[in-house]
Amino acid sequence: MTKTDPKQLGAVEAGKPFALALAAGTETARMETNLRARSETLKLAQAAAQQGRTGEAMEHLKDHIVEVSENSAVVAAERWLSLPPAERERTGIYVSGRQLRDEVNAAVQTGLAANGEIGPDRMTLTVLSRVNATREELRQVRTYAPGMVLEVTAKQSRQKLAKGRYDVLKVDAGKGIIELRGADGQRQTFQPSRIGAQGDNQVLQLLERKALTVYTGDTIRWTANDHQRGLINADRAAIAAIGNDGLTVRTSSGMDLKLDAADPMLARLDLAYALNAHMAQGLTSDKGIAVMDRRTRKLLSARNFLVTITRLRDELTLIVDNRDKVEMGIGRNPGDKTSALEVTERLGAAAARGQAADKPQEVGKLQEPEKLPELERTITKVVPFEMGI
């Protein structure tokens, strides 16, 4: 059984056919009672956000909104760090995008290290962060840039790519060719346009490198799967020890696992003090500190806002740099994503209107353009199932 809330963040790839099936009228069980919130304020705010009434939701939260003129990431970290350790465990930090997430994570880590709660041993890693790109975007040369990494999880005979990681060395937009270098040092060309329009989007992943310093005691999350060792994407772990030849992590199941310097999973981890909305879907915490910044315009959306405030049971502190502009940004941007089928429908309807407008009309009588049949659209509100990481 699949559970989804169509008003939260939309699926771009695998989940989109399911969303289209719902729009076409597929029989659906409806669960319309949100059992997560326990405080009256959150119940009212979540109900208003669910109905798209952003202003009303913000009004319900007015006593819990903190408007700051300084660095909002630092303010969020400071508020979380000032909590007793037991309260920190009950309080999640939610942000509106990747950049804010990295800033909050760095600020929290700085505070913990300064207070001696993590460390003193540390190690700087080069980790790989996924570039959020659909399969169609991966077929476009402009998506790639030198310094990125293309990870191939299954042999691609059509492109003559074996399983492994490839450095992006050069992008030739004119010829539509990417120059890659494999782990063996061999160079080869790659044509993104030859990627099949259909297929598993997980087979090819585009990644960016970034430097990440971790301390003993740091809380991390995995950014890829290693099912054989029980390391699951988005699951949390802790840095138990750091040595010259690698580090030891304590997994969510309580096992200690040694990762040597050459272990590929050392490149697939990140700090986990703050989560963005896409990571937060399906999670629940008793309390939360949320950060929204007017500068992240594309990420200020009704869907992001809904996901953020519906993660919580009891209490929310919403930190914003400008309440009016954040509210306006959320209200103006529904955050919808469309599939190729939906775009085709829109373009086909536009062409039909243009064709109809060119037909001669009877004198004194306006001829209405023929309406194309549309798929019946239904809105299904359900409560996302909860999973722990």
Architecture of the structural domain at 16-127+209-332: 3-Layer(aba) Sandwich (3.40)
Among 62-71, 303-312, 374-383, which is the least confidently predicted range?
Answer: 374-383
Between helix 72-81 and helix 98-114 the angle, nearest 10°, is 40
pLDDT at 369 over 90: no
pLDDT at 26 over 80: no
Confidence of residue 334 (pLDDT cuts 50, 70, 90): low
pLDDT at 312 over 60: yes
Confidence of residue 17 (pLDDT cuts 50, 70, 90): low
- Partnered with residue 301 across adjacent β-strands are none
Confidence of residue 388 (pLDDT cuts 50, 70, 90): very low
**What per-residue confidence (pLDDT) applies to 269?**
97
Among 67-76, 170-179, 185-194, 295-304, which is the least confidently predicted range?
Answer: 295-304
Confidence of residue 132 (pLDDT cuts 50, 70, 90): confident
Q: How far is CA 71 from CA 78, 93, 96, 266, 292, in A?
A: 11, 15, 14, 30, 11
**What per-residue confidence (pLDDT) applies to 250?**
97
**What per-residue confidence (pLDDT) applies to 298?**
67
Q: For residues 80 and 87, give the distance between their C-alpha atoms in angstroms, rounded to a whole number.
A: 9
Report domain 135-200's class.
Answer: mainly beta
**What per-residue confidence (pLDDT) applies to 322?**
87
**What per-residue confidence (pLDDT) applies to 41?**
92
**What per-residue confidence (pLDDT) applies to 342?**
46
**Percent of the chain scored above 70 by pLDDT?**
76
**What per-residue confidence (pLDDT) applies to 297?**
66
**What per-residue confidence (pLDDT) applies to 167?**
96
Which is more confident, 108 or 356? 108
Q: Is 335 left (phi over 0), alpha (psi -120 to 50) or beta?
A: left
Per-residue pLDDT, averaged over 353-371, amounts to 61
Burial-class residue 377 by CB neighbours within 10 Å (0-12, 13-18, 19+): exposed
**What per-residue confidence (pLDDT) applies to 182?**
94
Confidence of residue 31 (pLDDT cuts 50, 70, 90): very low
**What per-residue confidence (pLDDT) applies to 1?**
47
**What per-residue confidence (pLDDT) applies to 133?**
85
Q: Where are the domains of the chain?
A: 16-127+209-332, 135-200
pLDDT at 177 over 80: yes
pLDDT at 339 over 60: no
**Percent of the chain scored above 90 by pLDDT?**
52
pLDDT at 381 over 60: no
Per-residue pLDDT, averaged over 244-261, amounts to 95
Q: For residues 186 and 154, give the distance between their C-alpha atoms in angstroms, rounded to a whole number.
A: 18
State pLDDT tens for residues 263-285: 999 999 999 999 886 676 667 88
**What per-residue confidence (pLDDT) applies to 150?**
95
Average pLDDT, the chain: 82
Which is more confident, 344 or 184? 184
Q: Is 279 left (phi over 0), alpha (psi -120 to 50) or beta?
A: alpha
Confidence of residue 8 (pLDDT cuts 50, 70, 90): very low
Among 44-48, 66-70, 101-105, 375-379, which is the least confidently predicted range?
Answer: 375-379
Give the position of tokens 């004119």. 174
Pick from 262, 207, 252, 201: nearest CA to 231: 252
**What per-residue confidence (pLDDT) applies to 98?**
86
> Max Cα separation, the chain?
88
Burial-class residue 293 by CB neighbours within 10 Å (0-12, 13-18, 19+): buried
